[in-house]
């Protein structure tokens, strides 16, 4: 069962050619979806058990779709799976501490489309919220395919309805589907690096009100199944760039269920942020944002070895609230 809602979108000019990748949505050349396996919609000949219609029927579609709670996979907050701003060149991040460490490589399959940004990750927040609802309802295994309308996405993210917002959502989905990550970040039981797209499959709507069918990678679904996620509120969703990256670190490392402060070498923070500018610019930007994180303070201090350290401290539990907690759903 899927609820389809009327969307406040102007009808497309019939004289403009259709984009073959987004039929009926936008003029040709504006948004391109890379070639991906197409998801089957409800009512097709062979809808799989992993389609999202099944858990919606169990949860009660009206309640689930009305106000999904935004969630973020903690690994996406800690590590640079997405860029701070428009970017086509790959993201490379490596960290070593003795025998332990991890590697992360994210590349754009089509450089003309580019890598997803921290703002594009909003789409994954809604998908994670749906999977969390399934987890709470006892659905097992969790579905990989989520069907969601533009109206639902915009409402969940606190965005206004309109054709421009729908176009921005389509661009976000295109960039998520265009990114390929190779990493050993994830469950300890997984051996060797894993390779996946942040969206493994995309079936765009063919007319206003019809849902997107978005297939999530196994890596993402396993993180949700293990409870490795946290709640996200609209205050964080409205943040962009480095501010959102710092806030994600604060929530993941210094949330109410974690330590009161988190320290990392400023050089390591620069590498982990996936910033494009020089190190000096990153240092200046961090200093400028020291009073911009609700419930947290940001400072650059000298460490025991004389190195510059990025220090994020939690100020008060009443300021961070529920949205700052690391949440294990079960």
Written as tens digits, the pLDDT of the chain (330 aa) is 343 444 444 444 444 433 333 333 333 333 344 444 444 444 443 333 344 443 343 344 333 344 578 999 999 999 999 999 999 999 999 887 656 778 999 999 999 999 999 999 999 999 999 999 999 999 989 999 999 999 999 999 999 999 999 999 999 999 999 999 999 887 654 567 899 999 999 999 998 889 999 999 999 999 999 999 999 989 999 999 999 999 999 999 987 766 789 999 999 999 999 999 999 999 999 999 988 999 999 999 998 888 999 999 998 654 444 433 333 333
Return the structure tokens found at 236.
Answer: 């964080």
154 and 8 in a single domain? The answer is: yes
Q: Tell me which of 175, 199, 232 is where a domain ends.
A: 232
- The total number of structural domains that make up the chain: 2
219 and 249 in a single domain? The answer is: no
Sheet of 145-148, strands arranged across: 145-148, 212-215, 201-203
Place of tokens 């390779």: 195
Q: Would you state the pLDDT for residue 170?
A: 96
State how far Cα 104 lies from the chain centre. 16
181 and 329 in a single domain? The answer is: no
54 and 164 in a single domain? The answer is: yes
197 and 87 in a single domain? The answer is: yes
Q: Could you tell me which residues come within 8 angstroms of residue 16 by beta carbon, excluding any fewer than 6 positions away?
A: 27, 28
Domain of 290: which CATH number? 1.10.10
Which range of residues forms the domain containing residue 19? 1-232
192 and 49 in a single domain? The answer is: yes
Q: Tell me which of 163, 197, 232 is where a domain ends.
A: 232
95 and 147 in a single domain? The answer is: yes
224 and 287 in a single domain? The answer is: no
- Per-residue burial over 62-74, b = 16 or more CB atoms within 10 Å of its CB, e = otherwise: eebbeebbbbbbb
140 and 255 in a single domain? The answer is: no
322 and 211 in a single domain? The answer is: no
199 and 283 in a single domain? The answer is: no
Q: Could you tell me which residues come within 8 angstroms of residue 76 by beta carbon, excluding any fewer than 6 positions away?
A: 82, 121, 124, 248
61 and 119 in a single domain? The answer is: yes
Q: Tell me which of 232, 251, 280 is where a domain ends.
A: 232
């Amino acid at each position: 069962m899927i609820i389809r809602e009327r969307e406040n979108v102007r009808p497309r000019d019939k004289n403009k050619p259709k984009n073959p990748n987004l039929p009926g949505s936008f003029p040709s050349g504006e948004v391109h979806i890379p070639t991906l396996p197409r998801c089957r919609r409800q009512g097709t000949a062979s809808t799989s058990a992993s389609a999202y219609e099944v858990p919606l029927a169990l949860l009660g579609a009206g309640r689930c779709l009305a106000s999904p709670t935004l969630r973020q996979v903690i690994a996406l907050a800690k590590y640079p799976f997405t860029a701070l701003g428009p970017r086509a060149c790959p993201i490379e991040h490596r960290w070593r501490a003795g025998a332990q460490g991890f590697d992360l490589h994210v590349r754009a399959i089509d450089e003309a489309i580019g890598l997803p940004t921290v703002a594009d990750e909003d789409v994954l927040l809604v998908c994670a919220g749906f999977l969390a609802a399934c987890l709470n309802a006892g659905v097992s295994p969790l579905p990989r395919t989520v069907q969601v309308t533009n109206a639902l996405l915009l409402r969940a993210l606190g965005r206004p309805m309109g054709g421009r917002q729908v176009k921005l959502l389509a661009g976000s989905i295109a960039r998520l589907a265009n990114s390929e990550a190779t990493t050993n970040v994830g469950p300890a039981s997984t051996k060797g690096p894993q390779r996946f797209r942040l969206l493994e499959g995309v079936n765009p709507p063919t007319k206003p009100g019809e849902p997107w069918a978005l297939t999530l990678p196994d890596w993402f679904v396993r993180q949700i199944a293990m409870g490795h996620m946290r709640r996200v509120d609209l205050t964080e969703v409205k943040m962009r760039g480095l501010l959102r990256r710092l806030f994600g670190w604060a929530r993941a490392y210094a949330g109410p269920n974690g330590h009161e402060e988190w320290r990392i070498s400023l050089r390591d923070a620069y590498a982990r942020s996936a910033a494009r500018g020089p190190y000096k610019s990153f240092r200046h930007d961090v200093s400028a944002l020291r009073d911009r994180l609700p419930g947290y303070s940001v400072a650059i201090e000298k460490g025991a070895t004389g190195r510059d350290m990025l220090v994020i401290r939690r100020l008060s539990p009443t300021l961070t609230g529920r949205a700052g907690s690391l949440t294990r759903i079960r």
